[in-house]
């Protein structure tokens, strides 16, 4: 995200049109008793009430959670600072785990875990934890943390693979009021160092290693390297707790390293949940900034707890104590995993599934094998994964029974219409609703999304605001724009799960998200600026057009990159595309497109490749207009991505402009060979 928004005076132009509309399926046709919201009229009535009477509405929603002490007021709002459920005392771990045991549901399965490795007989390791087992394990690890000197308010850093112990560790932190800072297991030792320093953590929880595509990621080695840097800088870590998952060779520092199993065996399971103030910090989650150090996004206890559970139930139609199994394929190291694997799902008593490894190990049908084996009913994944599935071929999902699926979801970036249609046809068998969710690390939960029983869906659109969300597309002066005018996506009223700040950097918090429209002073905007450009169509549906800093100004026309990418992917030869701006002598900024072709559509003849480039340019012109024709098209076998699947467009911008990767942060890049090949091809 850019550190500030500086739009030009012109709106962002939109030429991509999509008119297909799919009505919601009936609940009975999918084998469900009901939809939580069953019509667009019911949605509009509830949404209107939530906007007009937020205190009354959110007070009712919050009353469904357990509070040790009631709040005195629902909301105190002085932009940009919100306090929700003021004075209320609660605990997120209590609502996720202990409450379920107290209410007699201790024997219900809370979490299903599947390991990545597959033995020669085709067997995989599966663990199922009930709420009672999860309670006992989280209480024990909470006791472990206290024995290591962790007290209320101390930030614990967690750097682990996707194992149940990761969930246990984060819930144990919430249990005793120690905010956690979870670092995605694909990050480097430098990323660990930076985050531990900023959070002032004295305890790190890690694994010896993690499985990824049949190989071991050396997590403990990365932590060791970080600890050396921290000690040299005078920020020595006091304890490193190591869960031995892969039994790979690791070094052992007797002065700070502690064995998970030994500590747990000695720990007491008598560790009640702390009564936390609603505004006490629940966790820090670091996101990369376009400049400077990573941003530590602060989320607090009560509002986040209420909002994630509420949106989980509505977006996926989760029904407690039913036969549903919910699977979000994200890593817990990202906000999607925080909100929609653990904190939003466990309070609803629907089993949440965690998978340890890659979607194509040992074969490209691994995800569909998991769906069939566990009878998954709600499936939530990223558009980039869907495009990978498309590239690998429909034969992989088609050899599995996916009839258990009821609701499909997408997350992480806008989904192009052709990928949406493939998801609809091949995975959903043209019967499952698709909820295309727009939200951010900073928002905590879903902000704009269809609701599966209520919203007619259009491929590529995230549709309408979530209940309680007042979203709008604004010009640079804060005025709402009309239909099909691209502008700044903004949220005009506070919501319970909103970020409360950037850790240790008040000025950056205001400059990044709350800068006043068109103001030259330091006044604060009352609107949250998402950093995305968007438009609303004639039906009022939102279309995300890309990041504000991804808008390309071509000869005075401001174009969103997402629309150009979507136009390219709608060509039958293309499975994925990324578009960035590049210097152009005449236009000022030109359009560079990096395109991955379907294997069957890849010409071997150089002249045929040139013909395909011409065909793609013409296709974009037909879809959007001549102004959007790429000035440069490069074919590539893969695009540089993070392990969460996000395309690293800033690296592509550097390549397109001839800068290479100098001064570029590549710590989150999954496959460095992709970047190296792109650089070689550009020379």
Looking at residue 648, which CATH number applies to its domain? Answer: 3.30.300.30
How far apart CA 376 and CA 601 sit, in angstroms, is 33
For 290, residues 6+ apart whose C-beta sits below 8 A from its C-beta are 1, 2, 3, 549, 650
What pLDDT does residue 286 have? Answer: 94
How far apart CA 576 and CA 581 sit, in angstroms, is 17
Sign of the CA dihedral 320, 322, 328, 333?
positive
Contacts for 610-618: CB closer than 8 Å, 24+ residues apart:
612/573, 615/571, 615/573, 616/568, 616/571, 616/573, 616/574
What's the average model confidence in pLDDT over 637-665? 74
How far apart CA 559 and CA 545 sit, in angstroms, is 8
How far apart CA 356 and CA 242 sit, in angstroms, is 17
581 bridge partner residues: 591
Residue 594 lies in a domain: yes
- Using DSSP's 3-state secondary structure scheme, residue 353 falls into strand
**Which residue is associated with the tokens 């919201």?**
37
| Ordered alpha helix ranges (H), 495-588 | 506-513, 561-569
Q: Give the number of C-alpha atoms closer than 13 A to the C-alpha of residue 546, restricted to the C-beta side.
A: 23
What pLDDT does residue 583 have? Answer: 85
How far apart CA 432 and CA 569 sit, in angstroms, is 23
Residue 361 lies in a domain: no
- Using DSSP's 3-state secondary structure scheme, residue 223 falls into helix
Rounded to whole angstroms, what are the CA distances from 206 to 116, 159, 244? Answer: 18, 5, 9
What digits encode the pLDDT tens for the residues 354-387?
999 999 999 999 999 999 999 999 999 999 899 8
Residue 660 lies in a domain: yes
How far apart CA 634 and CA 640 sit, in angstroms, is 14
Residue 617 lies in a domain: yes
Q: Degrees (nearest 5) of the Cα angle 324, 418, 652?
A: 105
Q: For strands 156-159 and 407-410, give the pairing.
A: unpaired
What pLDDT does residue 647 have? Answer: 81
How far apart CA 410 and CA 252 sit, in angstroms, is 41
Residue 245 lies in a domain: no
What pLDDT does residue 168 have? Answer: 98
Which domain does 634 fall in, by range? 551-682
Residue 620 lies in a domain: yes
Residue 433 lies in a domain: no
CB 171 within 8 A of CB 96: yes
How far apart CA 365 and CA 389 sit, in angstroms, is 9
Taking 70 as the threshold, does the pLDDT of residue 520 lie above it? no
Could you tell me the end-to-end alpha-carbon distance of the chain, in angstroms, rounded to an integer? 29
What pLDDT does residue 539 have? Answer: 94
What pLDDT does residue 646 have? Answer: 74
Q: How many residues are there in the chain?
A: 683
Peptide bond into 362 cis (omega under 30): yes
Tokens read off for 505? 């950097």
CB 3 within 8 A of CB 529: no
Stronger pLDDT, 329 or 523, i.e. the higher one? 329
What pLDDT does residue 9 have? Answer: 40
Burial degree of 321 (CB within 10 A; 0-12, 13-18, 19+) = exposed
Residue 496 lies in a domain: no
Taking 70 as the threshold, does the pLDDT of residue 223 lie above it? yes
Taking 60 as the threshold, does the pLDDT of residue 522 lie above it? no
* Alpha-carbon dihedral angle through residues 212, 218, 220, 223, given to the nearest 10 degrees: -100
- 454: nearest Cα among 42, 40, 45, 41: 40
Most confident of 38-47, 472-481, 571-580: 38-47
The secondary structure of 231-270 as a DSSP string is HHTT---SEEEEE-SS-------TTTEEEHHHHHHHS-S-
What pLDDT does residue 2 have? Answer: 35
What pLDDT does residue 666 have? Answer: 61
Q: What are phi and psi of 294, to 5 degrees?
A: -60, 150
What digits encode the pLDDT tens for the residues 392-401?
999 999 999 9
What digits encode the pLDDT tens for the residues 172-212?
999 999 999 999 998 888 889 999 999 999 999 999 999 99
What pLDDT does residue 625 have? Answer: 73
Taking 70 as the threshold, does the pLDDT of residue 517 lie above it? no
Tokens read off for 416? 């192009």
Query: Global pTM?
Result: 0.86
How many domains are contained in the chain?
1
What's the average model confidence in pLDDT over 615-627? 83
């Amino acid at each position: 995200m850019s550190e500030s928004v500086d739009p030009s005076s012109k709106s962002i132009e939109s030429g991509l049109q999509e008119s297909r509309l799919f009505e919601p399926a009936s609940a009975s046709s999918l084998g469900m008793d009901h939809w939580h919201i069953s019509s667009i009229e019911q949605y509009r009535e509830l949404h209107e009430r939530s906007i007009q009477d937020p205190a009354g509405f959110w007070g009712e929603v919050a009353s469904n959670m357990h509070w040790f002490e009631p709040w005195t007021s629902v909301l105190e709002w002085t932009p940009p600072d919100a306090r929700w459920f003021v004075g209320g005392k609660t605990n997120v771990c209590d609502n996720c785990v202990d409450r379920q045991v107290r209410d007699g549901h201790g024997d219900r399965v809370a979490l299903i875990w599947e390991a990545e490795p597959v033995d020669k007989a085709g067997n995989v390791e599966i663990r199922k934890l009930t709420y009672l087992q999860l309670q006992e394990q989280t209480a024990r690890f909470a006791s472990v943390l206290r024995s290591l000197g962790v007290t209320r308010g101390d930030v614990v850093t967690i750097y682990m693979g996707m194992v149940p112990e990761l969930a246990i560790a984060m819930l144990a932190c919430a249990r005793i009021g120690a905010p956690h800072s979870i670092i995605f297991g694909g990050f480097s030792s430098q990323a660990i160092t930076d985050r531990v320093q900023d959070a002032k953590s004295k305890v790190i929880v890690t694994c010896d290693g993690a499985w990824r595509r049949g190989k071991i990621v050396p997590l403990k080695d990365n932590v060791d390297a970080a600890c050396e840097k921290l000690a040299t800088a005078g920020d020595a870590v006091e304890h490193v707790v190591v869960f031995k998952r892969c039994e790979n060779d690791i070094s052992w520092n007797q002065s700070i390293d502690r064995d998970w199993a030994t500590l747990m065996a000695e720990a007491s399971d008598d560790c009640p949940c702390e009564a936390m103030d609603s505004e006490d910090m629940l966790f820090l989650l670091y996101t990369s900034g376009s400049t400077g150090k990573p941003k530590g996004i602060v989320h607090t206890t009560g509002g986040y707890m209420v909002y994630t559970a509420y949106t989980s139930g509505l977006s996926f139609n989760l029904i407690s104590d039913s036969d549903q199994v919910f699977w979000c394929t994200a890593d817990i190291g990202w906000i999607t995993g925080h909100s929609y694997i653990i904190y939003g799902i466990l309070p609803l008593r629907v089993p949440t599934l965690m998978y340890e490894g890659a979607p194509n190990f040992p074969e490209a049908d691994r995800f569909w094998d998991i769906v069939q084996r566990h009878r998954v009913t709600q499936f939530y994944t990223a558009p980039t994964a869907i495009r990978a599935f498309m590239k690998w071929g429909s034969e992989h999902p088609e050899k599995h029974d996916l009839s258990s699926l009821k609701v499909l979801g997408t997350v992480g970036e806008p989904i192009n219409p052709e990928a949406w249609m493939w998801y609809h046809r091949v995975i959903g068998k043209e019967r499952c609703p698709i909820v295309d969710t727009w939200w951010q690390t900073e928002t905590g939960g879903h902000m704009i999304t269809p609701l599966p029983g209520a919203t007619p869906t259009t491929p590529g659109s995230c549709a309408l605001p979530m209940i309680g969300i007042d979203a709008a597309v604004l010009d640079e002066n804060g005025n709402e724009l009309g239909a099909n005018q691209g502008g700044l996506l903004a949220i005009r009223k506070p919501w319970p799960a909103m970020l409360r700040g950037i850790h240790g950097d008040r000025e950056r918090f205001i400059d990044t998200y709350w800068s006043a429209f068109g103001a030259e002073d330091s006044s604060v905007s009352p609107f949250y600026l998402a950093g995305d450009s968007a438009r609303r169509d004639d039906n009022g549906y939102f279309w995300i057009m890309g990041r504000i800093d991804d808008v390309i100004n071509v000869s005075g026309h401001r174009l969103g990159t997402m629309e150009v990418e979507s136009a390219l992917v709608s060509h039958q030869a293309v499975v994925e595309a990324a578009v960035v701006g590049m210097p152009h002598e005449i236009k000022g900024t030109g359009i560079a497109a990096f395109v991955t072709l379907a294997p069957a559509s890849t010409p071997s003849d150089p002249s045929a490749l040139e013909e395909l480039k011409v065909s793609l340019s013409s296709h974009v012109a037909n879809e959007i207009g001549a102004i959007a024709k790429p000035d440069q098209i490069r074919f590539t076998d893969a695009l540089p991505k993070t392990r969460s699947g996000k395309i690293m467009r800033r690296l592509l911008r550097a390549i397109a402009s001839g800068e290479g990767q100098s001064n570029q942060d590549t710590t989150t890049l999954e496959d460095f060979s992709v970047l190296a090949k792109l650089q070689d091809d550009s020379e």
